């Protein structure tokens, strides 16, 4: 998987976002943290699309972010309409990876990509757990 050449067809779940004036930094383009916020919103949206309730800390089955690798490829200026793609691309025993990318809604240009490593987690016991079946069923590894 080449993080700088991802295409919309590489993704299974989608969220459209529109930039906000306050998303810009003092240089006039989107702040780097905003990309991560969009991707987090897409991850939560993906969980909801799957029917997975693991977005809360008061359940025995949730997730916790372990690490991320982010590639910022193009500047984005406000206003813009963006498509955020999401894909579960690897599943282990207690962890899984999700791939996310942000594309320009007008021309599908890749703007940012990221790989997130998540751990299946029980917040009540404060321990890792096995990856839920619903996550396993929706994994589409890269060949």
**pLDDT digits over 113-122, tens only?**
999 999 999 9
Model pLDDT for residues 9-23, shown as the tens digit of each residue: 999 999 999 999 999
- Where residue 13 falls (left for φ over 0; alpha for ψ -120 to 50; beta otherwise) is beta
Which of 30-44, 50-64, 67-81 has the weakest average pLDDT? 50-64
Residue 53: predicted pLDDT? 78
State yes or no: cis peptide before 36, omega within 30 of 0. no
Mean pLDDT in residue range 58-73: 92
**Do 121 and 128 form a contact (C-beta atoms < 8 A)?**
yes
pLDDT range class, residue 76, cuts 50, 70, 90 = very high
Cα–Cα distances (Å) from 110 to 63, 72, 89, in that order, read 27, 9, 18
Number of Cβ atoms within 10 Å of the Cβ of 103: 21
Entry pTM: 0.93
**Cβ neighbours of residue 27 closer than 8 Å, sequence gap 6 or more:** none
Residue 23 DSSP SS3: helix
Residue 55: predicted pLDDT? 75
Mean pLDDT in residue range 102-116: 97
Tokens of 124: 């009540």
pLDDT range class, residue 137, cuts 50, 70, 90 = very high
What value does the mean pLDDT of the chain take? Answer: 94
Residue 81 predicted with pLDDT over 80: yes
What span, in angstroms and rounded, lies between the C-alpha atoms of 95 and 73?
Answer: 27
**Do 95 and 113 form a contact (C-beta atoms < 8 A)?**
no
pLDDT range class, residue 43, cuts 50, 70, 90 = very high
**Do 28 and 93 form a contact (C-beta atoms < 8 A)?**
no
Residue 60 predicted with pLDDT over 90: no
């Amino acid at each position: 998987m080449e993080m700088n050449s991802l295409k919309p067809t590489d993704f299974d779940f989608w969220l459209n976002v529109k930039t906000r004036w306050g998303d810009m930094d003092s240089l006039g383009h989107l702040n780097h943290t905003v990309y991560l916020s969009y991707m987090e919103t897409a991850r939560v949206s993906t969980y909801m699309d799957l029917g997975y309730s693991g977005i809360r800390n008061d359940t025995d089955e949730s997730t916790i972010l372990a690490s991320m690798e982010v590639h910022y490829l193009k500047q984005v200026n406000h206003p813009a309409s963006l498509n955020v793609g999401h894909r579960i691309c690897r599943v282990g025993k207690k962890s899984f990876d999700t791939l996310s990318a942000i594309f320009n809604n007008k021309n599908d240009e890749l703007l940012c990509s990221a790989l997130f490593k998540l751990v299946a987690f029980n917040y009540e016991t404060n321990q890792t757990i096995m990856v839920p079946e619903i996550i396993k069923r929706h994994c589409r590894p890269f060949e």
